[in-house]
Amino acid sequence: MPIKTRIYRIKPNRTMKQVLDSLCDYRRFSWNLGLETWQDMYEARQLALTPHLKAELKKAKNKQNLTDIEKEILASNPVPSWRKIRDELTENKQHWQAKYPAHVFNLAIQDLGNAWQNFFDKAQPDWGKPKFKSKKAIRQGFKMDQAKIKDGYLFLEKPRAVKEKWTGFKLSSSPLSEEFGTISFYKEKNRYYVAIPFKLPELPNKAKTNQVTGVDVNVGHFNYQGGQCLVLPKKLEHAYEKIKHYQRLLARKREVNGRKEAATSRKYLKTRAKLQGAYRRATNIQNDLLQKFTTKLTDNYDSIVIEDLDVKKMLMNHVASKGMHRSMFGKFRQILSYKCEWYGKELILANKLYPSTQRCAVCGLVKKGDDKITLKGNKKHGTKHNEFVCYNPDCPNYNQKVDRDENAMMNLTLLVKHPELNKAL
């Protein structure tokens, strides 16, 4: 089922502000308590494991070689998981927690589990270890899955402690659907927002065009059959430079004043807010670009071939905010794959070993050894980084310079009609 998330700014009255603020606090409390428990549980297990036990666990899944005592040790010192943490913490809930909706607590612990999972999977290069949340963080929020929408108003579940009149939040535009998933609330600079992921009915397929394309992904541009989509326009570069600038300022402040001192100063917090603003701007520009491009692709092509994205260790020397820009490629794949699914188009992933850069799209010869093209071109033949020259005398393109990315894109396109080539060649 397609999901479309819409963000609304809401204007709560004083009572509701108090409620929202306290739920933010409760979410943070739940997360931090969960994280602390997680670390304790992990440490307890590490301490409990004897060298023999460790060796056995490494060897195999079957625990037949373990003594009863060892089995007992394992059972009483489990590997932490969000379910185990939730169960343990729910059992030991304190009296005052009854005032708060249980699902706010549960969702916090579940998200903590996801954060650990992402950290281990390294889904993105900049995934870090889950951290304790600070009351001073610019963005505070919580999630809820028990809210209701009625007549254009959003109603939260009423916490038991609240005696005042319970009001809803007017949504500035009508909901996209009656069904929606877990709602996120957040507060930034005293403004309140809510993100609602609407579940949309199945969309009708887009018309068939009988056209196919590959998309060759590069730092500054994506090549496809229709030409190029520029993905590093001036305004995005500018936003990246801002990010780098504020990051530097903050780092310098931390260095001069010490991490703890710096984090409490007003100027520091102000700069950090600016950094966040720059991140937001960059994200918006990226999303806008990618949304438009992926719409164009699914409008115009029935099959689209892309590379499995970490194929290319891209050179990003000249990009100010590399991590931020790198995230764009993952996003591209994500958006394109859901749009293809929504609209009944085919998305083909090229095998990681498929030599889209080394193969001549005209004659099929694959460059080997020191004929290979690197990110800097080819030393032996003196070709530049953006050139492809075929050295097969029988090729119509023999000894001619063609655009490297264009050639790669043609090789990707080829996979629609020749899936048997989708492997190392």
Q: Catalog residues that contact Zn ion under the rule CB under 5 A.
A: 360, 362-363, 390, 392, 395, 397
Q: Is the Cβ of residue 151 or residue 370 nearer to Zn ion in the bound state?
A: 370
* Tokens representing residue 68 in the block: 């009863």
- Report the candidate in 311, 411, 400, 315 with the shortest Cα–Cα distance to residue 358: 411
Cα separation of 231 and 289, whole Å? 7
- 377: DSSP letter: B
Tell the smallest beta-carbon distance from residue 383 to Zn ion (Å). 14
- 191 phi and psi angles, rounded to 5 deg: -110, 145
State the nearest-atom distance from the C-beta of 212 to Zn ion, in Å: 21
**Tokens at 123, concatenated:** 């889904």
Smallest distance, Å, CB 308 to Zn ion?
A: 25
- Which residues lie below 8 Å from residue 114, measured CB to CB, with a gap of 6+? 82
* Proportion of the chain in helix, strand, coil states, percent, rounded to 5: 45, 20, 35
Edge-to-edge order in the sheet of strand 303-307: 227-230, 221-224, 212-217, 303-307, 346-350
Nearer to Zn ion, 276 or 383 (CB): 383
**Can you tell me the distance from the alpha carbon of 409 to that of 403, in angstroms, rounded to the nearest whole number?**
10
Closest CB to Zn ion among residues 102, 363: 363
Residues 6+ apart with CB under 8 A from 343: 203, 205, 206, 298
In the complex with Zn ion, the residue whose CB is nearer, 129 or 368, is 368
Q: How far is the CB of 224 from Zn ion (least distance, A)?
A: 22
Our CB check for Zn ion shows the closer of 55 and 363 to be: 363
Rank residues 212 and 360 by Cβ distance to Zn ion and give the closer one. Answer: 360
d(CA 109, CA 125): 23
Q: Which is nearer to Zn ion, 306 or 360 (CB)?
A: 360
Pair of tokens at residue 174: 């009508």
How far apart are alpha carbons 107 and 144 in whole angstroms?
7
User: Of 349 and 362, which CB lies nearer to Zn ion in the complex structure?
Assistant: 362
- CB of 304 or CB of 361, closer to Zn ion: 361
Residue 234 CB partners (closer than 8 Å, separation 6+): none
Identify which of 250, 316, 321 has the alpha carbon closest to the alpha carbon of residue 286.
321
d(Cα 69, Cα 75) in Å, to the nearest integer?
Answer: 10
CB of 411 to Zn ion, least distance (A): 11
Least CB distance to Zn ion at residue 400 (A)? 9
Cβ atoms < 10 Å from Cβ of 201: 10
Q: Nearest distance from residue 402's CB to Zn ion, in Å?
A: 9
Bridge partners of residue 170, in order along the sequence: 153
What's the min distance (Å) between Cβ of 262 and Zn ion? 58
Instruction: Give me the helices (H) in 49-173, please.
Output: 51-59, 68-76, 82-91, 102-121
Q: Rounded to the nearest whole angstrom, what is the least distance from the CB of residue 390 to Zn ion in the complex?
A: 3
Q: Least Å distance between CB 393 and Zn ion?
A: 10
In the complex with Zn ion, which residue's Cβ is closer, 138 or 402? 402
Query: Integer distance in angstroms from the first to the last C-alpha of the chain?
Result: 38
